[in-house]
Each structure stands twice: as structure tokens, then as C-alpha cells.
Amino acid sequence: MAKMTLEQLRKLREEKKRDIERRETEGKEIRIIVGMGTCGIAAGARVAFDAILAAVERHGIGASVVLAQTGCMGLCHVEPTVEVLVPGMPDTIYGKVDAATATKIVDRHVVARALVNEHIYDRPAADIIRN
């Protein structure tokens, strides 16, 4: 990316916003986002990340799943945390995701379309940017 002008920045922002909307309305893409702040990593986020990757490959659904990282959501007591966005299902945050739970999240939530018991947490606050 070369240095942007004002117009280019505005265009990029609009494009990216549209991408998000499209993702939500078309509902093709599954997103799995792992919290990877220092606290998450210390609690085993990389292990969870790898387990998710392995499970996605095992199911052969790599083409429709995007696996991404983010910073800390603030739920330190239940790290590692993983957010799962599956079209047609509620956006879900899972906590205390060890390798076994990570695998379960892919098997049950992503593939079989049912929430995984005991590990769901609430998003701590409403989003001030999108509201």
C-alpha cells in the first residue's frame, strides 16, 4: 500500500465496512477469533489456536473458515477466549478453551451447529462503534 490521500482513506474505510456487512448478510464465512494478548497466550491461546486449526483441517472446512487473532477481551479469569461467528447462529464467546474444548467447538459448534455447554461467556459491553 502506498501512502494514501484523504479520498483513498475514505474509500478504504467504506470498502472495509461494506466487507463486514456483506460477511454478515451473505453469511458464507465462518470466523473463529482467538484472544491473543499476553494473558491469553500465557493461559494457552496458542494451544487452542493449533487445536482449532487441526480440527478445521480434519473436517476439510478450511475454505469456509477464517481463523484470526485479536487482543484481550478483558475476561482474564477464563482465558484463553475464543469468539465463534457462524452465520445463522448467535455470535458466541467461549472461555477456558483448552485443546479439548477447542476441538469440541469446531466439532459441535461449527460443524454440528450446536452451542458447547459450560464455556459460554457474555460480551462485556455493547459496541460503541457500531451502535
Partner 1 sequence: MAYRQYMLVCGGTGCESGKSDEIYKRLIAEADAQGVKDAVQIVKTGCFGFCEKGPIVKVLPEESFYVEVKPDDAKEIIAEQAVKGREVKRLLYDKSTRKSNNKIDDIEFYQKQFRIVLRNCGVINPENIEEYIARDGYAALEKALFQMKGEDVIAELKTAGLRGRGGAGFPTWLKWDLTRKAPGDVKYIICNADEGDPGAYMDRSTIEGDPHSVLEAMALAGYAIGSNKGYVYIRAEYPLAIDRLKIAIAQAKEYGLLGDDILGSGFSFDVEIRLGAGAFVCGEETALMRSLEGNRGMPVPKPPFPAISGLWKKPTVINNVETLANIPVIITKGGAWFAKIGTEKSTGTKVFALTGKVNNSGLVEVPMGTTLREIIFDIGGGIRGGKKFKGVQTGGPSGGIIVEKDLDAPISYESLAALGSMMGSGGMIVMDEDDCVVDVSKFYMEFCVDESCGKCAPCRIGTNQMHDILDRITKGKGEEADLARLERIGKAMTKASLCMLGGSAANPTLSTIRHFREEYLAHIRDKKCLTGKCKDLVTYSIDPSKCIGCTLCAKKCPVPCIAGERKQAHVIDASRCVKCGECYAVCKFGAVVKN
Contact residues for partner 1, defined by CB under 8 A: 1-6, 9-10, 12-13, 16-17, 19-20, 35, 37-39, 41, 68-78, 81, 83, 88-90, 95-96, 112-131
Reduced 3-state DSSP string for 4-46: CCHHHHHHHHHHHHHHHHHHHHHCCCEEEEEECCHHHHHHCHH
Looking at the Cβ atoms of 63 and 126, the one nearer to partner 1 is 126
Shortest separation between residue 40's beta carbon and partner 1, angstroms: 9
Looking at the Cβ atoms of 55 and 75, the one nearer to partner 1 is 75
Looking at the Cβ atoms of 58 and 66, the one nearer to partner 1 is 66
Shortest separation between residue 117's beta carbon and partner 1, angstroms: 5
Separation in Å, CA 18 to CA 24, 26, 80: 10, 12, 30
Q: Which of 39, 56, 61, 47 is nearest to 97 (CA)?
A: 47
